[in-house]
Structure 1
Amino acid sequence: MTNTDFDFLAGSWDSVQRRLVKVLAGQDEWYAFDATLDCQVLFDGTGVLDVLRAPERGYEGVALRLFHPEEQTWRIWWASKNTGGLLDNPVVGRFEDGIGTFECDDTWEGTPIRVRYQWSRTDTDHPHWEQSFSPDSGVTWEVNWTADFTRR
């Protein structure tokens, strides 16, 4: 089965990444850094692998996305040097009305949270991604990491 949800991401990108200085602390201080993303679409569109690099920050991460045809959902795993050789819990979801929303339960510094990734503007030259955490099972959300991409 073919899926084209993440075909927009294939190739090489420059990005501006923004992250909250302190997550779930009720503050609004951000820092920004430049990064690159190199993405391959695999398995007729049902697999996607990308590498995010921010050399000035010594940062490198990998995302693996796999589509489950029977469920019509994506699972997205993330790993970086900071995850200690482990994949994060996968966020699970799909695209609806041009927005991809993917969620899972996880922990942040020992606190149970809900994690959400959202992709938007995927039909433009500047797709947007953001990560949010919810400490109250999705009642409220705090965006803590965003990325805006430009094709290289």
Structure 2
Amino acid sequence: MQQSRARQRKIGALEVFQSAGISVPEEWQPEAPYSIAQAKQMTLDLLTLDQRPKAILCGNDVIAQGALFAAQRIGLQVPQDLSIMGIGDFKGSADTEPGLSTVRIPAGRIGQMAGSHFSSYVTSEDRGLFRFKCNLSLVQRGTTASVTR
């Protein structure tokens, strides 16, 4: 499940980048496991490329914390030299230094909606697939720089 969610997030992000005319080189698209230590090492590898990114969008806040630690380890100033964004607004994301910018997913609301649909599924004959949308919110903290055009 974790792998599928991460893959869908990556596909969605790349579609948005492409529609905005932003190309993301393949070597800037590593897939880090759900581990701060492994994400840190993968980010160190990414940041030592001849051409390194100016911003990193991570599939979740755990990976983003690893990216933040990697940037700090090699002396990059976040967000002046590198912006980092996570997804999830996990406990502790506001407590990193600087605080981790992230996308907040309304997990409680998703659980309520899933519970409602599941109880309908169990008690009715209609057993088709369903989709629903929920509002996400950007939580801008200290790891992302403002963009001026």
State the TM-score, normalized to the length of structure 2.
Answer: 0.30
Larger radius of gyration: 2
User: When you count helix as a share of all residues, which structure comes out higher?
Assistant: 2
* Larger proportion of strand: 1
